[in-house]
Chains A and B, each alone.
Chain A
Amino acid sequence: MHIARKNPPLSLATRETSAMRRMLIAAALIVLLLFLFLPLAVIFREALRMGWQVYLDAIAEPYAVAAIRLTLVTAAIAVPFNLFFGIAAAWCIAKFDFRGKNLLVTLIDLPFSVSPVISGLVYVLLFGAQGWLGPWFAGHGIQIIFAVPGIVLATVFVTFPFVARELIPLMQEQGREEEEAALLLGAGGLQTFLRITLPNIKWGLLYGVLLCNARAMGEFGAVSVVSGHIRGLTNTIPLHVEILYNEYNFAAAFAVASLLTLLALVTLTAKTLLAWLYANKTGS
């Protein structure tokens, strides 16, 4: 983007020959096509193989609707939690210096590289009937795993770093001069945050939320461990896809999967749009 806008230097040695250029572009596109586009195409082809009617029926089927609702509910709880956490974490990490920062950032990243299977397992260890807290909760009539709270917890865990990780570098780059100036001019802390910081980070924030949301809706491994797979009750969309697939109901499985794929695509489009708006706004 901004490289392209700079005046191209005359010397050929800072540019590739046009043949080389075309070759590199072609190679990049082939990689994208093979590794990213084809898997996408497969989903839609399989989903629509039996026609639109089957596709729509699969999505409108009561169990599918229940799964879609549960997924929406889960994301609606998990994303705001991680959003507030992300802002708080980024505020103290990016705007202040303190000992143990590396460790803190590493711990925030941890859920990202923990195997989803382990993420589910730790909640079973804690809240399972044989776990440490499970019997206590069960005694009070509260069911955590194999019920909606467990699914929400696992989702929160898996999507934990997304917003924070997006905001930390962004806020670090922006430094703290603007906020300090506002405070000097007599603005309150909250006012400074709302008027100065938030506008500065809003695009990054939105992008983080979008990724967090996409991941929250699509998580399979961790949720699978804590869900109990009760049809119509604790099945999320990805689990419903697995069930349909296991029932030899391929068209329906891919149809429901395509919903999540569409969501991913909408997320990506929104993100591209945001990046574009952001670039225009800042003029960089």
Chain B
Amino acid sequence: MVRPRAASRPHTLPGFGLALGYTLFYLGVVVLIPLAGLVFKTFTIPWADFRAAVGAPRVMAALGLSFGAALVAAAIDVLLGLLIAWALVRYPFPGRRLADALVDLPFALPTAVAGISLTTLYSPNGWLGGFLNTLGVQIAFTRLGIVIALIFIGLPFVVRVVQPVLQDIEVEQEEVAACLGAGRLQTFLRVILPVLTPALVTGFTLAFARAVGEYGSVIFIAGNLPMVSEIAPLIIVIKLEQYDFAGATSVALVMLATAFLLLFAINVVQRRFRKRFWPA
């Protein structure tokens, strides 16, 4: 039985039992029971089969690609997100509010629509793809395309996590640094960046966690070649279509476990810094 731990002062607020009870009940019904079903289903698979399913070269390649592309995309998101957040917080420029609103677009845009739209844009006969093609760069139907789609999906996470932290930074600190003779770049690296680091890590992890499992926007632009541009969620879908339930759940479990570990780590980081997830 979970009980409220004695806080700094005696508790008078009501409703803890009811709220926690309902939370646990709803969490159980909607999330835990279905996910536990997946885990138990995987446990009925002999270990050798599980290892064979997850260890197959094609599956390993897909898992590697999903995690690798998500890693690259999240890293790029950190750079671009920091840049955007910086411009939005520090510089008043015309259209800033509009730009600020645009950042949330990938949150709200259906992933399939994003996928079709990005493919239209980046395929060799699209607006950007045509231009890049003349430079000899192909984006759609390559790994680059996957990364582009994942950057799109993850960008708002970084911006939205960094923004409020950047807003709260005391200008005084920067002034002190300046008075002590630090250059602008030095101030940024020594004073601002350390403060931003937890937020950047959080943003990175969120973007990464979201990108690893992304399906809708990626399949349109990926090319889907086994060993080359086939992502792990697609492997699950294909295994299902091949009536290979055991294989599909095995791969799903690996992805699920990774997602859980990532989120747990990030929540520990987050609670330490108490920063908001989706700040208004």
Contacts and interface: CB of A to CB of B under 8 A. Distances in A.
**A–B direct contact (CB < 8 Å):** yes
Contact of B33 (A126, A215, A219, A241): A126
A212 to B, nearest CB: 10
B15 A189 contact: yes
Interface stretch (B50-58, B120-128, B222-230): B120-128
A34 interface: yes
B213 interface: yes
Contacts of A248: none
16 contacts: A1-B89, A3-B171, A11-B178, A14-B177, A24-B91, A40-B117, A91-B16, A106-B260, A107-B31, A110-B31, A121-B252, A169-B276, A204-B280, A214-B108, A257-B117, A267-B108
Given A31-B83, A166-B277, A92 B105 contact: no
A109 B275 contact: no
A147 interface: no
Interface string B13-27: 111101110110011
Contacts of B101: 268-269, 271-272
Task: Please classify the interface of chain A as helix (H, G, I), strand (E, B), loop, or mixed, using the class held by over half of its residues.
Answer: helix
Contact of A110 (B166, B171, B178, B259): B259
B48 interface: no
Contacts of B271: 101-102, 105
Interface of A: 1-4, 6, 9, 11-16, 20-21, 24-25, 27-29, 31-32, 34-40, 42-43, 46, 81, 84-85, 88-89, 91-93, 95-118, 121-123, 125-126, 131-132, 153, 156-157, 160, 165-166, 168-170, 172-173, 176, 179-180, 183-184, 189, 192-193, 203-204, 207-208, 211, 214-215, 217-221, 237-238, 241-242, 245, 253-254, 257, 260-261, 263-265, 267-269, 271-272, 274-276, 278
Contacts of A12: 178, 184
A28 B179 CA distance: 29
Given A28-B84, A106-B267, A271-B104, A11 B179 contact: yes
Contact of A264 (B105, B128, B240, B248): B105
Contacts of A117: 213, 215, 233, 236-237, 252
Contact of A99 (B5, B14, B31): B5
A92 to B, nearest CB: 4
B91 to A, nearest CB: 5
B109 A95 contact: no
B20 A92 contact: yes
A103 B268 CA distance: 9
B22 A211 contact: no
Contact of B152 (A35, A89, A261): A35
A189 B14 contact: yes
A13 B187 contact: yes
A215 B107 contact: yes
Given A1-B167, A12-B178, A91-B19, 14 more contacts: A3-B166, A29-B99, A32-B99, A36-B102, A43-B113, A85-B30, A106-B267, A122-B37, A153-B30, A157-B31, A211-B108, A238-B112, A257-B110, A274-B280
Given A37-B102, A106-B260, A115-B236, A96 B13 contact: yes
A216 B171 CA distance: 40
B110 A238 contact: yes
B174 A14 contact: yes
B244 to A, nearest CB: 12
B209 A176 contact: no
B23 A115 contact: no
B2 to A, nearest CB: 5
Contact of B127 (A38, A96, A269): A38
B5 A114 contact: no
B200 to A, nearest CB: 16
Interface string B255-269: 110011011100110
B184, B271, B274: most-surrounded residue (chain A CB, <10 A): B184
Nearest to A270: B101
B38 interface: yes
Contact of A111 (B31, B110, B171): B31
A238 to B, nearest CB: 5
Given A42-B127, A98-B4, A260 B263 contact: no
A122 B109 contact: no
B108 A215 contact: yes
Nearest to B79: A31
B155 interface: yes
A109 B263 contact: yes
Contacts of B3: 98
Contacts of B137: none
Contacts of B86: 24, 28
B64 interface: no
Contacts of A110: 31, 35, 259-260, 263
Nearest to B217: A220
B49 interface: no
A43 B90 CA distance: 32
B7, B112, B127, B233: most-surrounded residue (chain A CB, <10 A): B112
